[in-house]
Amino acid sequence: MIDDFGAKLFLNWHAAYEVILHGKEYFNSDKNIERPFNTWQSLIEIKTLNSEASKEVRQCLVYRVPYQQRLGILKLILLDDGEKCREVYEKKPLAEILNVKVIKFFYGTKKINAIKERKVIPPFVLSLNVDGKWISVPLLNITGKREFKKYSDGRIRSYNRGVLYWPYSENRVDLIKRKVSQQFIGKLSDRYLDRTLKMCEKVSDDCTIVGERKCHRCRFGWFDVLGSKCKTNRIKFCRPNFCGERGEPACIRGNSYLGKQEEFGCVGGSKAGFCKPGLGTYCDGNGILICL
Amino acid sequence: MRGRSFPDQTGWLMKKKLIAILLVIFLIIGGFATLLILLPSQIVKEKRELQALIQASTTLNKIWQQGDVDKKWKKGKYKCELDSSERVGDDYLRCNPSFINCFLSNQSLTTEVAGKTYQVKALSFGKSFFQLIARSKDEGILIPEYGILVELTISGKRSLKVILKDYCSETYLPQRIYAQGAFKKQNDWRWDNFGQHIVVDKFQVSGQDISFWKDSLEIKSRPAVGLTLKEMKDYCSFRGKELISTHVYDAAAFHPGDMDNIRPIRNMRGPYPWTKRNKDSFLYRARISQDFSFESRFCEKAFTKECLQYFRPKGFDVGSVSWMGMYQILGGVMEVQNSMIYEEKNLMPSSYLFDVKSPWHQLGLRASWDGKDYLPNAFEWKGYPPDKFEPLIGFRCMRYISEDY
């Protein structure tokens, strides 16, 4: 039963691209899940693709914690639109394991040393120990942080760097005939001057992200602009980038080159930005340093 | 004493036979039951097939990223339509869709899971084993900026869709203070990229890159030339990038001198990417020395006009390289960049249109091109035009990246 559950989990979750740990306290602790006993707990939710790779699919792992003679149950559940993991404990599962006595979870984007289990959990691999038996599922599309160094090629850390996976299925892919609703933002005709350029990441002066981060959805990539006083992160727009031109954001020159701390942020005449010859930097009504 | 009577003997034999038959039946049933317990279920078999495909994708990714690691193509063991091996550097085969086609048509992928060997093959799309996939033209979740989609299968019924992203072509520009153009004691135009992360194309965009963009499968390893500036910018956009700007190009090309000091007070820099000392370079000696003698080995660093008598121009040539891994800097074809600081000076003329003594064979000196066509009045050569003009202008792209995107 454990092998079959593990196989079902593997087949369903290998192409997951987002992971939400609902029960963070249950992960990576080398301890059995024992409390709160006799209750259902939502452990982990993932987003993956359907078999045609055209739509998002959400699934949960939930667990009924054992109590005395009433042993635990681990369930894999498919969520319908709008459903939450904590609402579907009684739903018919895709797979389940009954009579669970001991269960431990391990997952991270870096290597984990499960000392008690004497096992090293690789990064991006969801590992469950169910009554002494291991289930391991690589989450192939989950990414970690990028590392920056000389000669590096910009690949983001993942299970298999530089590779994305669509689900193992019977469906063939024909990119030309495929019909999927529009996902990406930005057109080559967009301009800041026309207010059609799309902001994809807003950063406040204290470096917090305001609203949704969506630069990964820019069709033609993104670029930084000046506006926030944050020194380590910038406001971002989806391309096209016409920085330096009249009515467009100023190109970034930086503030370290001056040898003193030039103020960042939206300050007219700021030398942290530059424009084409004949234009100067100004702060517009949106708090973006532009060229006029 | 009397022995057993005849009827007793018969009964005993019958009992022995019955016991033997029952034993055989029991062994057969027991054997089947054991097999059933040990044999994997259908779903476990499917999982093992998927594991085998994932392993195969790791091997395929290695070939994609590293190219002809076993030198099989170079030794002529693969029969493929690729540019000749004498005319290209090894990087030609890295992140090259045509080479993946070549590899998959000449070699199978074999993997082992739980003691069983699996033969993995790629499903074909028409004549090739891949489809180009790019955010600029395809919709959906998990679409990369640019890459190829390959479908791997064992049984032929179900397949794992593997998207190999193109990261081979980029190199990271470290964060520090830089300067644009040739060194000036006064008014040196300086800038820095602290708080930003930039990657630039290692090589100029190739003819093959352009033919994939335009949906043809022509094999051209040398830099793409003959395009307008708008076409170049459109290609970079297709790749989720932008045409490299002059100040970023100079940052990548000029040797920064003291590598450990990332905030220098002055950006001392020489005109050649591979050395801090001008006088060490053959290009400097060619310009100032009356008895300079050209040697074919100079062509590795800068493919000038003289090199045409020794060699044919090479695609993905790694001779002319800068401190942070950008190639094809001096010599070869001319290169245009996006100029924002000095608007009209956007063209680096150093190429095999000019002989080794030409002042164009140095960093920071630029001519002008209006980008629209290749007529003589589209160019401003500052008094040093080529003897014979050819429309040999290449380009490369750059983009911004972050920790997460």
ipTM of the complex: 0.93
Both tokens of residue A64? Answer: 């009924």
* Chain segment B231-278, per-residue pLDDT in tens: 999 999 999 999 999 999 999 999 998 889 999 999 999 899 988 778
Q: Quote the tokens at residue A255.
A: 């503030």
Number of neighbours of residue B393 by Cβ within 10 angstroms: 26
DSSP element (H, E) containing A201: strand A199-203
pLDDT tens column, B95-146:
999 999 999 999 889 999 999 999 999 999 988 999 999 999 999 989 999 9
B15-25 residues labelled b (16+ CB within 10 A) or e (exposed): eeeeeeeeeee
**pLDDT tens digits, one per residue of A160-182:** 999 999 999 998 888 888 878 77
Question: What percentage of chain B has pLDDT greater than the value 90?
Answer: 63
Q: How far is CA B257 from its chain centroid? A: 29
Q: What pairs with residue A73 in β-bridges?
A: A64
Which residue type does B339 have? S
As a three-state string, the secondary structure of chain B is CCCCCHHHHHHHHHHHHHHHHHHHHHHHHHHHHHHHHHCCCHHHHHHHHHHHHHHHHHHHHHHHHHCCCCCCCCCCCCCCCCCCHHHECHHHHCCCHHHHHHHHHHCCEEEEECCEEEEEEECCECCECCEEEECCCCCCCCCCCEEEEEEEECCCCCEEEEEEECCCCEEEECCCEEEECCCCCCCCEEEECCCCCEEEECCCCEHHHHHHHCCCCCCCCCECCCCCHHHHHHHHHHCCCEECEHHHHHHHHCCCCCCCCCCCCCCCCCCCCCCCCHHHCHHHHHHHCCCCCCCHHHHHCCECHHHHHCCCCCECCCCCECCCCCECCCECCEEECECCCCCCEEEECCCCCCCCCCCCCCCCCCEEECCCCCCHHHEECCCCCCCCCCCCEECCEEEECCCCC
Mean pLDDT, range B352-359, rounded to an integer: 95
**What's at B63, amino acid-wise?**
I
Q: Does the pLDDT at position B26 exceed 90?
A: no
Q: Judge contact between B112 and B92, C-beta under 8 A.
A: no
In this predicted structure, which of B7-11, B185-189, B317-321 has the lowest mean pLDDT? Answer: B7-11
State the pairing for strand pair A72-79/A56-64: antiparallel
3-state DSSP assignment of residue A52: coil
Identify the closest residue of chain A to B134 by CA–CA distance: A219
CB contact under 8 A, B343 and A277: yes
**Closest chain B C-alpha to A206 CA, distance in angstroms:** 14
Query: Predicted confidence band at B1 (pLDDT cuts at 50, 70, 90)?
Result: very low
pLDDT of residue B19: 86
Closest CA to A274 of A248, A241, A252: A252
- Going from the C-alpha of B240 to that of each of B150, B237, B393, the distances in angstroms are 21, 5, 22
Residue B90 token pair: 């090894």
Query: 25-64 in A: which are within 8 Å (CB) of B?
Result: 49, 53-54, 56
Cβ atoms within 10 Å of A87's Cβ, excluding its own: 12
pLDDT of the residue at B404: 83
Look at A168 and B160 and tell me if their CB atoms are within 8 Å: yes
Residues A239, B237: C-beta atoms closer than 8 Å: yes
- Among the partner-chain residues A6, A11, A163, the one whose CB lies closest to the CB of B162 is A163
Contact status of B240 with chain A (Cβ, < 8 Å): yes
B2 to chain A, any CB pair closer than 8 A? The answer is no
Residue type, B258: D
Tokens (6 digits) for B302? 């800068």
pLDDT digits (tens, 9 = 90+) for A111-168: 999 888 889 999 999 999 999 999 999 999 999 988 887 787 778 899 999 999 999 9
Distances in Å between the Cα of A19 and the Cα atoms of A78, B22, B340 are 15, 56, 42
